[in-house]
Amino acid sequence: MQGVRAILFDTFGTVVDWRGSLIDELTGFGAARGIAADWAGLVDAWRGAYAPSMDRVRRGELPWTILDDLHRASLERLVAQFGIAGLTAADLDHLNRFWHRLRPWPDSVPGLARLKARFIIGPLSNGNVALLVNMAKHAGLPPWDMVCAADLFGHYKPDAETYLGAAALLGLAPGEVMLAAAHNGDLRAARSCGLKTAFFPRPTEYGPHQARDFAADADWEVIAADIEDLATRMGA
């Protein structure tokens, strides 16, 4: 690991708790507006629409579209599906920006602060720049050295253009970059592009619906308990 100069992080689920954050935000919104709904179910369905919406872009069924706009289109459909009436376009925009206010996992801020002292750090995420910058600001994450967002590449992970593009933006060889993620599939794609890999589990990411990524399924270069443990293993 002596050759690693940058550690980039998958973000949704790896650094921040998207599910718990969104359920709390939407439940609070519903209580304030007197709207009773299955907010947890909507959040799970919203996240369920994430990969299929990006696949439509990947297949050329949609032109390049940032994640904020994909989320917004999915939300409009799901609100109708869940029978939530009376929301204006401004309301939907407001709800969509809840993705900009996701909470970090407890180990994320201290672990990233330790790693930042020794390595270049940043997200390598399917989020767009504005989403990732606003999220980091709200969550109190240590300032990223670089934001490697999908809209910089015009591609979504696991396309190779994202992993190789991040290394190129940093002026580094792929082997000098490590992807840290709680998702084995993301790491598999990164490794195929020559990046180093680090895994730590987030066993409650999907709540009771978690069905994968409880443990590493390959010999990733680092297998840790969380980001603080990753920092320890990387000598930070």
At the fourth CATH level, which superfamily is domain 18-101? Putative phosphatase; domain 2 (1.10.150.240)
Q: For domain 6-17+102-233, which architecture applies? A: 3-Layer(aba) Sandwich (3.40)
Neighbours of 161 (CB within 10 A): 16
**Inter-residue long-range contacts of 186-190, CB under 8 Å, 24+ positions, other chains counted:** 186/10, 186/157, 186/158, 187/218, 187/220, 188/158, 188/218, 189/157, 189/158, 189/160, 189/163, 190/163
pLDDT of 154 reads: 97
Give the start-to-end residue ranges of the domains of the chain. 6-17+102-233, 18-101
pLDDT of 109 reads: 98
Specify whether the CB–CB gap between 15 and 104 falls below 8 A.
yes
pLDDT of 21 reads: 98
Place of tokens 């993620």: 181
Name the nearest CA neighbour of 98 among 42, 169, 52, 154: 42
Alpha-carbon span 114 to 25, nearest angstrom: 30
* Segment 43-91, tens digit of pLDDT: 999 999 999 999 999 999 999 999 999 999 999 999 999 999 999 999 9
pLDDT of 2 reads: 81
What are the residues whose beta carbons fall under 8 Å from the beta carbon of 85, sequence distance 6 or more? none
Q: Which residues of the chain have pLDDT under 50?
A: none
The single-letter code of the amino acid at 57 is: V
Tokens of 55: 């696949």
Alpha-carbon span 47 to 71, nearest angstrom: 9
**Pair type for strands 120-125 and 6-9:** parallel
* Cα dihedral 230→165→119→231 (10° resolution): 0
Do the first three CATH levels of 6-17+102-233 and 18-101 match, i.e. the same topology?
no
Specify whether the CB–CB gap between 124 and 103 falls below 8 A.
no
